[in-house]
Amino acid sequence: MSTPQAIQQPWGPRVAALLFLAAGVVVLGWAFAIPERATDQDVGPRAFPLLVGMGLCVSATFSTVQAFRGADREQTEQAREEARLTDWGPVAALLGLLVGYLFALTPCGYWQSTAVLFTLVARVLGSRKPLRDAAVGLVLALAVYILFDRLLGIHLPPGIIRLAF
Amino acid sequence: MDVLSHLTDGFASAFSPMHLLLAFAGCTLGSLVGVLPGLGPATTVALLLPLTYVFDPVGALVLFAGIYYGGMYGGSTTAILLNVPGETASVPTTLEGHPMARSGRAGAALATAAIGSFVAGTISTVAITFIGPAMSRVAESIQPAEYFAVMVLAFATVTAVVADAPARGLCSLFLGLAIGLVGIDSLTGQVRYAFGVPELYDGVQVVAVAVGLFAIGEGLYTAARMRRAPEEQMLPVGGRIGMSREDWGRSWKPWLRGTAIGLPIGALPAGGAEIPTFLSYNLERRLSQHKKQFGKGAIEGVAGPEAANNAAFSGVLMPLLTLGIPTSATASVLLIAFQMYDVQPGPQLFQTQSALVWTLIASLYIGNVMLLVLNLPMIPLWVRLLKLPRPLLTAGIIVFATLGVYALSQNAVDLAIAVAFGVLGFLMRRTGYPVAPLILGAVLGPMTETQFRRALAFSEGDWTVFLTRPVSAGILCLALASLAGPMAVRLLRRRRSVPSI
């Protein structure tokens, strides 16, 4: 895999195909763990998962072979173009924010964490007006919180700093 | 007339002030969100799903009928003014609509898209009104083996349409089916693929999958490309929105032809909207007296495909309501909205939920009129929304996406699932894997398995039942042909070394 041509191959298709293959192995492998009662004639809970697992394994194997050979020219072209235009920094930052939000939501409260999320996401996506973003984020988060939690009765975590009403 | 009296009742219910307001809100919200670049109708409906928690089933579905049409309509606006197709079905619109906008004829392009959509939508709704009940009576007599075959056909066509390489589409489809397997098996109570996580016993929430794949995936995609990809330039609407006498003359036939193509294909439990829009585009190019204008802004190339798109969109409601089978990504998300209310579309729907169905159908008529009368003059206003800073728009999308998922069951597991599917959707998009088969598989998988096992129970475990029953065998052959057909064409083409399009 050290020839110049191999280096030029974008890695996206290979990663994607291998992920599908891994999923296929998991689906198929765990299908055997589903207990099937041999007594009755009906098809039990294992048959369909077996079919799905086999289907996923077969099509993912095809995809993997194609991706490693670079046989699917259209896919290779698209992946190369995407790779050229991709900046991984913002993607990682956005993902980090979302994961942080997941954990912050319950302890810190809905509107507090959402206001912060909004401000930081706007920042990651290139906004250079943090004060404006924070103001918009706060108003939006409070509006959503009041609308859902107080008016519509869909509970959202209140957090430490509670609203006065 | 039975149908007419039902329809009258439906209109009576749809014309209540509350439902009118909801239909209006739906159209407005749908076009507002749909006009955002990159947000196609499926994403729009997925993003607005949390609204269903708030209303009663009838009100929510009236709202969603409006969002469904509005989202598609907003999508064509983006296709024309920004050259960004919200989904594959809008590609032909960008081919002619954007050049029209560039030469200062955006007003005519938007008008022919809107009026064409209205014509197609209304004709298709009339068809649903009269054919729907009959189709649901036919659907009632369908046996499990045939039901299973029809679902396989729907899977095959959605998979074949979206990807040129069937292996990629099939990966996506089978992964979707696998997602549908997670949780307690409805027939035996056996827990499958929960990996010890109690939150998964009820299955993976399809809302989280849809919002993750579409909305969060879109956010990640925007983040990845924001620095290096050139930002799309938005064209001004220049002039009033309307058509000249010549535009009318060149538009009305493509509208009707588009409807004639889109409606039957959409109404088959195998349709989707992609095939009819491309068929209509090619047909108009062949028939047009202005062939040289094609590629440079021929109005026929907007009128036909837009009508076909809308007709197919309405047609898709037929298998959705009478069989419970969605045949496009958007219809899958719509089915999720139904299921949130424990309303299961299918053969019994017209009987058990008669009031709901007919109110929904009446609101389709009303939604079509509203879109034309209220939204056409308001397009310049929606377009102004696009002038908001992009970082704020994307941040807003992320906030609403997470809200929708969290509000669903108020736990962070669903949110984590949505983020994971956001990453998956992002990777799939970058590497050419279609997401429509995945969401279709996840939504329809459980029902497919049920019919599969019922069929085998009837045949006492004989697996040949799907091939020995003629109707089922025929449908399965069709499914195989729709998957293998495009591949065969490609092989032939390569052998003759004819450059592919």
- Enumerate the β-bridge partners of residue B192: B183
Buried b (16+ CB within 10 A) or exposed e, A86-124: beeebbebbbebbeebbebbeebbbbbbbbbbbbbbbbb
Amino acid in position B149: A
C-beta atoms of A94 and B167 within 8 A: no
What pLDDT is attached to residue B415? 93
Q: Where are the domains of chain B?
A: 2-495
In angstroms, rounded to a whole number, what is the distance separating the alpha carbons of residues A43 and A38? 9
Task: Count the residues in chain A.
Answer: 165
Q: What is the H or E stretch that residue B127 is in?
A: helix B106-140
What pLDDT is attached to residue B212? 92
Burial of A58 (0-12, 13-18, 19+ CB in 10 A): middle
Tokens of A121: 């996401």
pLDDT in tens, B60-88: 888 888 888 888 888 888 888 888 887 77
Q: Is B422 on the interface with A (CB under 8 A)?
A: yes
**Window 243-272 of B, Cβ < 8 Å to A:** none
Of B229, B389, B448, nearest to A85 by CB-CB distance is B229
Q: Is B501 on the interface with A (CB under 8 A)?
A: no
Residue A94: which pLDDT band, with cuts at 50, 70 and 90?
A: very high
Q: Determine contact, residues B218/B38, Cβ cutoff 8 Å.
A: yes
Task: Count the residues in chain B.
Answer: 501
Of B192, B419, B433, nearest to A102 by CB-CB distance is B419
Query: Mutate which of B170, B174, B188, B228 to test chain A, going by most A C-beta atoms within 10 A?
Result: B174
Q: Determine contact, residues B220/B423, Cβ cutoff 8 Å.
A: yes
Of B171, B399, B449, nearest to A140 by CB-CB distance is B399
pTM of structure: 0.88
What pLDDT is attached to residue B380? 80
Q: What is the pLDDT along chain B (501 residues), one digit of tens a residue?
A: 588 888 888 888 888 898 899 989 888 888 888 888 778 888 888 888 877 777 888 888 888 888 888 888 888 888 888 888 877 788 888 899 999 988 888 889 999 999 999 999 999 999 999 998 888 888 888 899 999 999 999 898 888 765 567 888 899 999 999 999 999 888 888 889 988 888 888 889 888 999 999 899 989 998 988 877 766 677 777 667 788 888 888 998 999 999 999 999 888 877 677 788 888 998 998 988 888 888 888 999 999 999 999 998 888 989 999 989 888 888 898 898 888 888 888 888 888 888 889 999 999 999 899 888 877 788 788 777 778 888 898 899 899 899 988 888 788 889 999 999 999 999 998 888 888 899 999 999 999 999 999 998 888 878 888 888 888 999 999 888 888 877 777 676 666 544 433
In angstroms, rounded to a whole number, what is the distance separating the alpha carbons of residues B146 and B448? 11
Q: What is the ipTM of this complex?
A: 0.91
Instruction: Show residues of chain A in contact with B403, CB under 8 Å.
Output: 114, 144, 148
Tokens of B401: 């996406």
Q: Determine contact, residues B47/B30, Cβ cutoff 8 Å.
A: no
In angstroms, rounded to a whole number, what is the distance separating the alpha carbons of residues B443 and B425? 16
Q: Is A137 on the interface with B (CB under 8 A)?
A: yes
Indicate if the pLDDT at residue A41 is higher than 80: no
Indicate if the pLDDT at residue A5 is higher than 90: no
**Window 67-106 of A, Cβ < 8 Å to B:** 72, 74-75, 78-79, 82-88, 90-91, 93-95, 98-99, 101-103, 105-106
Residue position matching structure tokens 């005519």: B108
Q: Determine contact, residues B313/B330, Cβ cutoff 8 Å.
A: yes
Q: Is A60 on the interface with B (CB under 8 A)?
A: yes
CB within 8 A of B401, min separation 6: which ones? B47, B211, B212, B215, B216, B219, B418
User: Mean pLDDT throughout A35-40?
Assistant: 65
Q: Is A112 on the interface with B (CB under 8 A)?
A: no
Query: Mutate which of B162, B392, B417 to test chain A, going by most A C-beta atoms within 10 A?
Result: B392
Of B190, B223, B229, nearest to A45 by CB-CB distance is B190
What pLDDT is attached to residue B500? 39
CB within 8 A of A125, min separation 6: which ones? A90, A94, B222, B223, B226, B390, B391, B394, B395
Question: Which chain A residue has the Cα nearest residue B451?
Answer: A48
Q: Determine contact, residues A45/B190, Cβ cutoff 8 Å.
A: yes
Residue B192's φ and ψ, nearest 5 degrees, are: -125, 140
Min Cα distance A2 → chain B (Å) is 22
- Enumerate the β-bridge partners of residue B191: B184
Of A45, A83, A94, nearest to B192 by CB-CB distance is A45
User: Three-class SS string for B438-496?
Assistant: HHHHHHHHHHHHHHHHHHHHHCCCCCCHHHHCHHHHHHHHHHHHHHHHHHHHHHHHHHC
Instruction: Show residues of chain B in contact with A17, CB under 8 Å.
Output: 171
Q: Is B218 on the interface with A (CB under 8 A)?
A: no
C-beta atoms of B415 and A105 within 8 A: yes
C-beta atoms of B396 and A118 within 8 A: yes
Q: Is A159 on the interface with B (CB under 8 A)?
A: no
Among B104, B103, B42, B89, CA closest to B68? B42
pLDDT in tens, A106-150: 899 999 999 999 999 999 998 899 999 999 999 999 999 998 888
What pLDDT is attached to residue B271? 66
Query: Mutate which of A86, A119, A131 to test chain B, going by most B C-beta atoms within 10 A?
Result: A86
pLDDT in tens, B368-423: 998 888 777 887 887 777 788 888 988 998 998 999 888 887 888 899 999 999 99
C-beta atoms of A121 and B177 within 8 A: no
Query: Mutate which of B192, B428, B431, B456 to test chain A, going by most A C-beta atoms within 10 A?
Result: B431
